[in-house]
Chain A
Amino acid sequence: MRNPLADKVVEIKPSGIRKFFDIASEMEDAISLGVGEPDFDTPWHIRDEGIYSLEKGRTFYTSNAGLKELKVEISNYLHRRVQVDYDPNHEVIVTVGGSEAIDIGLRAMLNPGDEVLIPQPSYVSYEPCAVLAGGVPVIIDLKAENEFRLTAKELEDAITDKTKVLILPFPNNPTGAVMEREDLEAIAKVIIEKDIFVISDEIYSELSYHGDHVSIAALPGMQERTILINGFSKAYAMTGWRLGYACGPRAIIEQMTKIHQFAIMCAPTTSQYAAVEALKNGDEDVAEMREAYNQRRRYLLHAFKEMGLPCFEPYGAFYVFPCIKEFGMTSDEFATRFLEEEKVAVVPGTAFGESGEGFVRISYAYSLENLKIAIGRLGDFVKRLKEEKRDNA
């Protein structure tokens, strides 16, 4: 029989998180600090609208790009929160999570051989999506000394004649890094000068703890070359509803809608009705959850300081990314030993790219009570490692 598989797909490495997931899920009594989704339930009024839409029998397809009402609310929301204006009829598409938006955005923009700049550490899907879209991923290794922000110099050095798109994943998973206005202004200059495009994945935008999130699309000359991606998963604790959106220039959104139309048809109708409610009446829920995350973030940073674990202060998302280099282990070894000895699961930084080596991702999408138990164990573990190091010295 012939090989039924496509080489391009087979060659994609499975996510580095997979192996760890298998070990951790087999360990029944392990506590996890490894999740990438909120611990809150979707606020009830949002769930209730979803249920109500089902009761009313709204169980049909919506138009391909999404419910008109939802697109209008998305446009209002972006005007309100990041001061960028999009025409809901032509510049907004509702997708199955932010993930689909990344995929179809890349597919709509890449010709074979086009280079896609991917800053790392970052979310695991950019690289495979770029490959599947026929592009060539070019990794930019972000540095701890820059607090994992992308600098103009790093960007400029990575750009070639073939560079077409920069993926801009801030606030960042796994580092929690953000790009503030002046950081964005510095790279925007390079982007415009070199005439490349941006896919700005702003899924964690509402979880910003050091002033409001700034979208690169809000900078002069950037909206016309940016696809802004956001969604409901993180801000409204709606991961399972699978709903996101992309906004950008009409010409790109039209082509993305074409792919979406043939591959997906439309995003889930129930989720779309719930999302209308989220955008109309959910600002307070978001503020409450942001405050809760911020409290946990402060708690963790304080605890790291007390146990002597170096960590830069992350201003976004719900992750901290402490440095474990001093223990002379790889991220993978550290995470494996921590899981085996203390039964707490954290994710090795290398799951998010080579430049994550020497770091681990700790999620604070857990209640303070749970965090306290897990961080107590981390403290014990770190203390033990420090003693081992001293004994060996």
Chain B
Amino acid sequence: MREKILGIIEKNSRVDIKELAVILGVEEIDVVNEMAAMEAEGVICGYHTLIDWEKTSIEKVSALIEVRVTPQRGQGFDSIAERIYKYPEVNSVYLISGGFDLLVTLEGKSLKEISQFVSDKLSTQESILSTATHFILKKYKDHGTILSKKYDDERMKITP
């Protein structure tokens, strides 16, 4: 049941609990308990909203930053990652394989704000060897959702 609940709420966190029980063919109370358990265990980390900021009048700039670091003795990458993710403007921090170590995504009001964050806050950290900043120009798809316009139902209205 867990997997099925997650499959549904990953796409639609606003689904009604009663309806969730109906479409999964289980009791409402079981859904409630399972959701509460998953929240307590930290399986469910939040119920966010996917927003296409492009369609609003609010200016936002986001960037991906590749960061190369020197891992620290005894702590590996964790302590430097923590120093980075504590900044509220940082959206996500991933440790990754390949040519660099950390991938940081960042949101700011302007290019300048982001550049400043990189030069003042990131590059100055001792264990950070280098950074490469990529500004996001257009989001085509985010969190599994295509952000461009939706297509109409092109099927014929009635078919046998």
Nearest A residue (CB) for B8: A295
B160 within 8 A of A: yes
- Which B10-58 residues have a C-beta within 8 angstroms of A? 19, 22-25
Do A15 and B160 touch across chains, with their CB atoms under 8 A apart? yes
Contacts of A21 in B (CB 8 A): 156-159
| Minimum C-beta distance from A326 to chain B (A) | 24
Do B159 and A37 touch across chains, with their CB atoms under 8 A apart? yes
- B156 contact from A35, A124, A347, Cβ within 8 A: A35
Q: Most B CB atoms within 10 A — which of A15, A35, A299, A351?
A: A35
B2 within 8 A of A: no
> Can you name 19 extra interface pairs (CB under 8 A) apart from A21-B159, A37-B155, A39-B155?
A21-B156, A21-B158, A25-B158, A30-B157, A32-B157, A32-B158, A34-B159, A35-B155, A35-B156, A36-B159, A36-B160, A123-B160, A173-B160, A295-B23, A296-B23, A298-B23, A298-B25, A302-B22, A345-B157
Do B155 and A25 touch across chains, with their CB atoms under 8 A apart? no
A195 within 8 A of B: no
Do B23 and A17 touch across chains, with their CB atoms under 8 A apart? no
Q: Tell whether A124 pairs with B159 under 8 Å between CB atoms, given A295-B23, A298-B22, A299-B19.
A: no
B82 within 8 A of A: no
Contacts of A104 in B (CB 8 A): none
Contacts of A30 in B (CB 8 A): 157
B120 within 8 A of A: no
* Size bracket, chain A contacts: 20 to 34
Do A17 and B160 touch across chains, with their CB atoms under 8 A apart? yes
Contacts of B160 in A (CB 8 A): 15, 17, 36, 123-125, 173, 347, 351-352
A323 within 8 A of B: no
Contacts of A173 in B (CB 8 A): 160
Contacts of A347 in B (CB 8 A): 158, 160
- Interface CB pairs A-B, < 8 A, 12: A17-B160, A21-B156, A21-B159, A25-B156, A39-B155, A124-B160, A291-B4, A295-B8, A298-B22, A298-B24, A299-B22, A347-B158
Contacts of B19 in A (CB 8 A): 299
Q: Mark B125-160, 1 if CB is under 8 A from A, else 0.
A: 000000000000000000000000000010111111
- Which A117-158 residues have a C-beta within 8 angstroms of B? 123-125
A24 within 8 A of B: yes
Q: Mark A41-76, 1 if CB is under 8 A from B, else 0.
A: 000000000000000000000000000000000000
A20 within 8 A of B: yes
Complex Cα gap A138–B159 (Å) = 24
Nearest A residue (CB) for B22: A302
Q: Most A CB atoms within 10 A — which of B7, B8, B25, B157?
A: B157
A218 within 8 A of B: no
Nearest B residue (CB) for A351: B160
Q: Most B CB atoms within 10 A — which of A20, A21, A25, A295?
A: A295
- Which A331-352 residues have a C-beta within 8 angstroms of B? 345, 347, 351-352
Complex Cα gap A360–B7 (Å) = 32
A109 within 8 A of B: no
A368 within 8 A of B: yes
Complex Cα gap A32–B152 (Å) = 13
- Which A279-315 residues have a C-beta within 8 angstroms of B? 291, 295-296, 298-299, 302
Contacts of A299 in B (CB 8 A): 19, 22-23
Do A25 and B157 touch across chains, with their CB atoms under 8 A apart? yes
- B23 contact from A32, A36, A351, A368, Cβ within 8 A: A368
Complex Cα gap A208–B160 (Å) = 19
Contacts of A24 in B (CB 8 A): 157-158
| Minimum C-beta distance from A35 to chain B (A) | 5
Q: Tell whether A345 pairs with B158 under 8 Å between CB atoms, given A39-B153, A291-B4.
A: yes
- Which B42-86 residues have a C-beta within 8 angstroms of A? none
Nearest A residue (CB) for B151: A41
